[in-house]
Amino acid sequence: MSDLFPKKGHDHDRCVHSAIAQAEKVCDDASARFTDMRRKVFTLIWQSHKAVTAYELLDALTSEGQRVQPPTVYRALEFLTDLGLVHRIESLNAYFGCDRPDCDHLGQYFICTECGRVAEEVNEDMSNAVRKAAGNVGFAIQATTVEIKGLCHDCATH
Amino acid sequence: MSDLFPKKGHDHDRCVHSAIAQAEKVCDDASARFTDMRRKVFTLIWQSHKAVTAYELLDALTSEGQRVQPPTVYRALEFLTDLGLVHRIESLNAYFGCDRPDCDHLGQYFICTECGRVAEEVNEDMSNAVRKAAGNVGFAIQATTVEIKGLCHDCATH
DNA sequence: GCAGAAAATGATATATTATAACATTTCAAC
DNA sequence: GTTGAAATGTTATAATATATCATTTTCTGC
Ligand SMILES: [Zn+2]
Ligand SMILES: [Zn+2]
Ligand SMILES: [Zn+2]
Ligand SMILES: [Zn+2]
């Protein structure tokens, strides 16, 4: 059985640093600015492997000092999602950092209802099944939302 | 190419009557009450093949006479979704009538961004791909959200 | 039929998520 | 340094959803 959710006790600083490095590259390639605010929001999203709501981000930013307003966070989120650095999890109204922002993909999200962690997979069998089903009915895909809730292996076995 | 979205000019009264008849049966089998309010909400949802928001339902119910409050609509929606008569479309924050409420299923939803219509499919290839991907990583599925946005055949070709 | 319990709805308030509109600041290009 | 575009700040409000308690309706057992 392959891993998908990160191991407990993994070196999470590596996750964060790698994500930031990739984000810098993606922004650079797109001639987009990875500003302080965007970096703060992005880093907060990567604090855990859970999805984070806009207002959790607001609270975190506010407790750091002066009051941050909703549009500030939503703008940063829009920027990050447009560039594919962050994905919105529709069934949670929350946001999740992508670990492969360099390539275009139709991701699928496994959401553990016990520990709250989210894992993104890019599974060609699933993507192909979706594409084929769409093709069968003459539907031209623009975007897909595939979110699977349940128990991750750790939570199912402990 | 098989049909999925209903034809223009189809006999929609048949859709509605069939849906209501099925709902009555499902409620009866579950010893649940298909009250006036639940029937009204359900019928409003079936007015079109689009997904309907809670507040659109509220407005429709209110214009029928006295003011209806949000909890009234949300309660009816909870009842209907719990019984599988209606599905929530997460990416739209909206609700859509199921045309096969009698059988358990993991549905997939095609959402046309042009005409707004939604079509539910129960595609075993997709469902199996999801189950297999979950199995591969030891994930125990509780619920799935598969929503596909794009252009329906009518809108793509006209 | 009637009492009591359970289910459903009404009513009020409030929580959560998200955007519109305009002002100010920052920053890169010239 | 000036200037124009991008980003952020500020204020207000829209859209979606739930908590809580009161009242009404329906069901069950007698
Ligand atoms: Zn990590
Ligand atoms: Zn878990
Ligand atoms: Zn119809
Ligand atoms: Zn269409």
Q: Per residue in A88-115, pLDDT tens?
A: 999 999 999 999 988 888 899 999 999 9
pLDDT of A78 over the 80 cut: yes
pLDDT of residue B21 exceeding 80, the answer is yes
What is the rounded distance in angstroms from the CA atom of residue B55 to the CA atom of residue A40? 35
Tell me how far the alpha carbon of residue B135 lies from the centroid of ligand 2, in angstroms. 15
Are the beta carbons of A6 and A62 closer than 8 angstroms? no
Length of chain A: 158
Once rounded to an integer, what is the mean pLDDT over residues A78-83?
97
pLDDT tens track for A13-54: 999 999 999 999 999 999 999 999 999 999 999 999 999 999
Q: What is the mean pLDDT of residues B77-100?
A: 97
* B147 three-state secondary structure: strand
Contact B141 A119 (CB under 8 A): no
Q: What is the pLDDT of residue B3?
A: 81
Integer Cα distance of B122 and B38 in angstroms: 25
Q: Could you tell me how many residues make up chain B?
A: 158
pLDDT in the model for residue A115: 94
* pLDDT higher than 80, residue B6: yes
Give CATH for domain A12-103.
1.10.10.10
- Asked: is A105-158 a CATH 3.30.1490.190 domain? The reply is yes
Interface of B with A in 117-156 (CB under 8 A): 119, 121, 123, 125-126, 128-130, 132-134, 136-153, 156
The H or E element spanning position A151 is: strand A140-151
Which bases of strand D have any atom within 7 Å of the beta carbon of a protein residue?
Answer: 6-13, 15-20, 26-27
- Cα-only R_g, chain B: 17
DSSP conformation letters of A55-114:
HHHHHHHHHTSSPPPHHHHHHHHHHHHHTTSEEEEGGGTEEEE-S-TTS----EEEEETT
Tokens in use for B112?
A: 């046309």
Query: Residue B81: left (phi > 0), alpha (psi -120 to 50), or beta?
Result: alpha
The alpha carbon of A89 and the centre of ligand 2 are apart by a number of angstroms equal to: 17
The whole-number average pLDDT for the span A134-138 is: 94
Q: Is residue A75's pLDDT more than 90? A: yes
Q: What's the CA–C1' distance between B84 and D26, in Å?
A: 24
pLDDT at B133: 94
**What's the pLDDT score for residue B128?**
93
Give me the residue spans of the domains in chain B: 12-103, 105-158
Fold identical between A12-103 and A105-158? no
pLDDT averaged over every residue in chain A: 94
